């Protein structure tokens, strides 16, 4: 059978600003048969997206095709006229981008954006195009398609936006879809819903797809064949089952090895119980917070809170993980502790001493003892300041260091995070993402803090780089006796580093305890949903998990942030009608340190959750 897409010996060059052209893709060949789903996997910078965009005859600004051919059926895409290529794009090949939030035009209503493809390619016009757009929204299981078509992208949730983009791509019934990490930016729970939608639609319509991803577990659910890419070349290719079970090349084995096991009691590494016989160094009590500014005459309603009565202890030298979906209030909590966001009420104490709400009211010593590392070093490091200035600032501020003493300490800190002391004179732009995050870590440790708030510090990094940074953080904690408040949505990473875990949902802590306790039943139904939603590295996992009551309940509805009783009840598979919507869930002690807020007793939860296992 002739392939639908044939990429032959594709060579693409890229030029960094003011640099010379270098090859980023070195002669890659890919075949995709009609109806086949082929995955391109590898680390970032491997050239996956560049190759995938080649199928549309497109290179990003600053890159260009050097050699090779791209055939779609019998037409050569790279040499055809721009006019023909325009006709082809969106009609025969369609693209789904990584982040729907930035790839949907904020100024155009959703329905119009979908209808545009239909009208441009002369498939339907006016009312007919709009009608078809609504049908497409319906096809992707979007709620109330008619109303949604008239809304703007920002009025839809993240998972909905991703499915809207999928609907847009499917508008002209393309023969080939190019999907660029379509679920990477999503929460695990949302990822299931979007993956299911994508899989259903391409199966139903028999569409072929080129699926770009760095996540082998995701690819295992959807691809027929896998191509492993590294540094601009294909390392290995084969049917999905073969690649997963019998990888031939060393690089493929490394990638498979880097896949973290699903979080469970067995992968929870920490045996330490920091709460045994110790006093907490930091306590958080009854914290309420909101982003609404009170008006002159209106009072802030409880529904507008993003943190509800949050209570938390941090013990010396422990790693306390805070997990939950995006929007659950994890980062707000970190900002409140750091004094960057004033709470409405509640109290934070450091070593028994009450901390002022705002960082500007705190003493230098109080500021020194709590440091924060942000998700993206691109945004937290000033691009105009050299590395030594970034790290030197806390040294001056907290220890009054100057001159050679300061320079020596900077060199020491750089070595500590595994960087050459020569980096001191460079600017952040001259460093890689992983190196920049190491600088942020060095800057936090420069203050010799007792607590470091780590807000999704690994999420912007590649799997392999992230693993190394995590190792560094583990080692530094041992050496420097510091406690981490480790905020993350990645349960597998959390399982491997945390001593204790707090699970947040809709601004409340719903489940908290030792890592081993939280990650094994009985635990809160939401914890169970999160754990079940982490993809497993085996084919058929998606179908299995969708078949469970947990997942369908989890997908049933969006998060209700401000429900006064139990906000999780609308997604809870164990909801008790008549009770969960009226009474706030009681605090239940399960085991020595494990606390769950739920109407169910420990025995009831254990019973239900054993059935699921």
Partner 1 sequence: MLKLIAKRLFVGLVTLLAISVIVFAGTEILPGDVAQAVLGQAATPETLAALRATLGLNEPAYVRYFIWLGKFLTGDLGVALTNGMPLDRIVGQRLINTIYLALYAAVVALPLALGLGLLSAAWPESTFDRTVSSVTVFFISIPDFVIALILVLIFAVELGWFPAINPRPRWSDFFPTLGALVLPMLTLVLSVLAHIIRMTRAAVLDVLKQAYIEMALLKGVSKKRIIIKHAIPNALGPIVNVIALNLGYLISGVVIVEVVFSYPGLGRLMVDSVVFRDVPQIQVVAMVFCAFYVALNILADVGAIMANPRLRYAK
Q: Establish if 509 lies at the interface with partner 1 (CB under 8 A).
A: no
- Taking the complex as a whole, the smallest distance from the CB of residue 229 to partner 1 amounts, in Å, to 21
Q: For residue 5, what are the CA distances in angstroms to 1, 52, 123, 155, 210?
A: 12, 11, 23, 36, 9
Residues 261-280 that bind partner 1 (CB under 8 A): none
Q: Which of 96, 68, 59 is nearest to 9 (CA)?
A: 68
How many C-beta atoms surround the C-beta of residue 144 within 10 A? 11
Q: Which of 20, 98, 5, 2 is nearest to 62 (CA)?
A: 20
- Taking the complex as a whole, the smallest distance from the CB of residue 62 to partner 1 amounts, in Å, to 12
Q: Which of 334, 313, 314, 339 is nearest to 324 (CA)?
A: 334
Distance CA 154, CA 160 (A): 10
Cβ nearer to partner 1, comparing 154 with 246? 154
Cβ nearer to partner 1, comparing 112 with 224? 112
Q: Establish if 562 lies at the interface with partner 1 (CB under 8 A).
A: no
Stretch that binds partner 1, among 87-95, 336-344, 426-434, 593-601 (CB under 8 A): 87-95
Q: Are 110 and 153 within 8 A, CB to CB? A: yes
Stretch that binds partner 1, among 82-90, 421-429, 474-482, 516-524 (CB under 8 A): 82-90
Residues 398-427 that bind partner 1 (CB under 8 A): none
- Taking the complex as a whole, the smallest distance from the CB of residue 58 to partner 1 amounts, in Å, to 6
Q: Establish if 48 lies at the interface with partner 1 (CB under 8 A).
A: no
Burial grade of 371 (CB within 10 A; 0-12, 13-18, 19 or more): buried
How many residues touch partner 1 (CB under 8 A)? 32
Q: Establish if 168 lies at the interface with partner 1 (CB under 8 A).
A: yes
Among 2, 79, 102, 382, binds partner 1 (CB under 8 A): 102
Calculate the CA 130 to chain-centre distance. Answer: 33
Tokens at residue 318, please? 């422990």
Stretch that binds partner 1, among 98-106, 251-259, 312-320, 348-356 (CB under 8 A): 98-106
Q: Establish if 293 lies at the interface with partner 1 (CB under 8 A).
A: no
The helix (H) or strand (E) run that includes residue 218 is helix 216-222
Cβ nearer to partner 1, comparing 178 with 218? 178
Among 16, 17, 19, 106, binds partner 1 (CB under 8 A): 106
Cβ nearer to partner 1, comparing 157 with 475? 157
- Taking the complex as a whole, the smallest distance from the CB of residue 97 to partner 1 amounts, in Å, to 6
The helix (H) or strand (E) run that includes residue 264 is none
Q: Establish if 497 lies at the interface with partner 1 (CB under 8 A).
A: no
- Taking the complex as a whole, the smallest distance from the CB of residue 151 to partner 1 amounts, in Å, to 7
Distance CA 287, CA 310 (A): 5
Among 33, 78, 80, 103, binds partner 1 (CB under 8 A): 103
Q: Establish if 260 lies at the interface with partner 1 (CB under 8 A).
A: no
Tokens at residue 27, please? 């002669």
Q: Are 39 and 180 within 8 A, CB to CB? A: no
Among 50, 117, 328, 533, binds partner 1 (CB under 8 A): 117
Q: Establish if 209 lies at the interface with partner 1 (CB under 8 A).
A: no
Q: Establish if 163 lies at the interface with partner 1 (CB under 8 A).
A: no
Distance CA 34, CA 2 (A): 8
Among 67, 120, 397, 560, binds partner 1 (CB under 8 A): 120
Q: What is the DSSP string of 78-131?
A: TTS-HHHHHHHBTTTEEEE-S-HHHHS-TTS-HHHHHHHHHHHTTS--HHHHHH
Cβ nearer to partner 1, comparing 113 with 599? 113
Among 6, 48, 89, 600, binds partner 1 (CB under 8 A): 89
Cβ nearer to partner 1, comparing 95 with 568? 95
Q: Are 37 and 221 within 8 A, CB to CB? A: no
Distance CA 466, CA 490 (A): 12
* DSSP state at residue 261: P
- Taking the complex as a whole, the smallest distance from the CB of residue 168 to partner 1 amounts, in Å, to 7
Cβ nearer to partner 1, comparing 86 with 386? 86
* Apex 51 CA angle, 46 and 52, nearest 5: 115
Q: For residue 204, what are the CA distances in angstroms to 131, 133, 240?
A: 20, 17, 21
Among 90, 247, 339, 554, binds partner 1 (CB under 8 A): 90
Q: Are 364 and 357 within 8 A, CB to CB? A: no
Tokens at residue 609, please? 């959750």
Stretch that binds partner 1, among 22-30, 148-156, 433-441, 449-457 (CB under 8 A): 148-156
Stretch that binds partner 1, among 31-39, 83-91, 508-516, 564-572 (CB under 8 A): 83-91
Q: Are 201 and 166 within 8 A, CB to CB? A: yes
- Taking the complex as a whole, the smallest distance from the CB of residue 60 to partner 1 amounts, in Å, to 8
Among 7, 25, 28, 94, binds partner 1 (CB under 8 A): 94
Q: Establish if 121 lies at the interface with partner 1 (CB under 8 A).
A: yes
Among 22, 62, 73, 105, binds partner 1 (CB under 8 A): 105
Cβ nearer to partner 1, comparing 136 with 518? 136
For residue 66, the SS3 value is strand
Phi, psi of 435 (to 5 degrees): -65, -40
Q: Establish if 56 lies at the interface with partner 1 (CB under 8 A).
A: yes
Q: Are 358 and 439 within 8 A, CB to CB? A: no
Q: Establish if 146 lies at the interface with partner 1 (CB under 8 A).
A: no
Among 2, 9, 21, 60, binds partner 1 (CB under 8 A): 60
Distance CA 117, CA 94 (A): 10
Helix (H), strand (E), coil (C) string for 288-317: EEECCCCCCCCCCCHHHEEEEEEEEEECCC
Q: CB within 8 A of 476, min separation 6: which ones? A: 416, 417, 441, 445, 482
Stretch that binds partner 1, among 97-105, 255-263, 456-464, 529-537 (CB under 8 A): 97-105
- Taking the complex as a whole, the smallest distance from the CB of residue 294 to partner 1 amounts, in Å, to 15
Among 151, 249, 448, 474, binds partner 1 (CB under 8 A): 151
Q: Establish if 104 lies at the interface with partner 1 (CB under 8 A).
A: yes
Residues lying near partner 1 in the complex (CB under 8 A) are found at 53, 56, 58, 60, 86-91, 94-95, 97, 99, 102-109, 116-117, 120-121, 151-152, 154-155, 165, 168
């Amino acid at each position: 059978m002739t392939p639908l897409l044939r990429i032959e010996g594709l060579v693409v060059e890229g030029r960094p600003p003011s640099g010379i052209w270098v090859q980023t893709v070195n002669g890659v060949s890919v075949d995709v048969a009609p109806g086949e789903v082929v995955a391109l996997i590898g680390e970032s910078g491997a050239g996956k997206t560049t190759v995938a965009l080649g199928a549309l005859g497109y290179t990003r600004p600053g890159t260009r095709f050097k050699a090779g051919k791209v055939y779609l059926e019998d037409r050569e895409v790279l040499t055809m006229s721009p006019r023909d290529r325009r006709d082809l794009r969106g009609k025969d090949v369609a693209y789904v981008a990584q982040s729907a939030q930035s790839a949907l035009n904020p100024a155009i209503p959703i329905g119009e954006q979908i209808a545009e493809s239909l009208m441009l390619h002369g498939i339907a016009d006016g009312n007919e195009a709009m009608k078809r757009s609504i049908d497409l929204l319906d096809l992707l299981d979007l709620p109330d398609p008619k109303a949604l078509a008239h809304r703007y992208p920002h009025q839809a949730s993240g998972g909905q936006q991703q499915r809207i983009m999928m609907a847009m791509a499917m508008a002209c019934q393309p023969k080939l879809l190019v999907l660029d990490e379509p679920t990477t930016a999503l929460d695990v729970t949302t990822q299931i819903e979007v993956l299911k939608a994508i899989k259903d639609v391409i199966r139903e319509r028999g569409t072929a797809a080129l699926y770009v991803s760095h996540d082998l577990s995701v690819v295992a659910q959807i691809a027929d064949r896998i191509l492993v890419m590294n540094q601009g070349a294909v390392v290995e290719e084969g049917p999905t089952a073969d690649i997963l079970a019998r990888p031939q090349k060393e690089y493929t084995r490394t990638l498979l090895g880097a896949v973290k096991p699903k979080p469970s009691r067995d992968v929870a590494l920490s045996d330490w119980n920091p709460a045994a016989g110790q006093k907490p160094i930091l306590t958080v009590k009854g914290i309420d917070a909101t982003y609404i500014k009170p008006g002159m005459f209106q009072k802030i309603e409880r529904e507008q809170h993003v943190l509800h009565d949050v209570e938390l202890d941090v013990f010396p030298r422990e790693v306390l993980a805070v997990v939950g979906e995006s929007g659950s209030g994890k980062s707000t909590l970190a900002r409140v502790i750091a004094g960057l966001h004033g709470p409405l009420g509640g109290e934070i104490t450091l070593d028994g001493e009450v901390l002022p709400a705002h960082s500007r009211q705190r003493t230098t010593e109080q500021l020194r003892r709590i440091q924060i590392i942000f998700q993206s070093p691109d945004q937290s490091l000033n691009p105009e300041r050299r590395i030594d200035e970034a790290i030197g600032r806390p040294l001056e501020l907290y220890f009054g260091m100057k001159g050679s003493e300061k320079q020596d300490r900077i060199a020491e800190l750089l070595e500590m995070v595994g960087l050459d002391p020569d980096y001191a004179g460079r600017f952040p732009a001259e460093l890689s993402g992983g190196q920049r995050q190491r600088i942020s870590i060095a800057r936090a440790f420069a203050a010799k803090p007792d607590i470091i708030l780590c807000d999704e510090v690994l999420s912007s990094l590649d799997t392999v780089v992230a693993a190394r940074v995590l190792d560094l953080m583990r080692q530094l904690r041992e050496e420097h006796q510091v406690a981490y408040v480790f905020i993350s949505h990645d349960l597998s990473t959390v399982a491997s580093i945390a001593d204790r875990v707090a699970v947040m949902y809709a601004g409340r802590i719903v489940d908290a305890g030792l890592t081993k306790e939280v990650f094994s039943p009985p635990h809160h139904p939401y914890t169970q949903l999160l754990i079940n939603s982490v993809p497993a590295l085996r084919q058929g996992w998606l179908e299995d998990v969708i078949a469970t009551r947990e997942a369908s309940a989890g997908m049933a509805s969006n998060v209700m942030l401000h429900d006064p009783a139990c906000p999780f009840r609308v997604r809870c598979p164990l909801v008790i009608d008549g009770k969960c919507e009226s009474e706030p869930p009681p605090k239940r002690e399960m085991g020595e340190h494990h606390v769950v807020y739920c109407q169910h007793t420990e025995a009831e939860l254990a019973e239900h959750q054993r059935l699921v296992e």
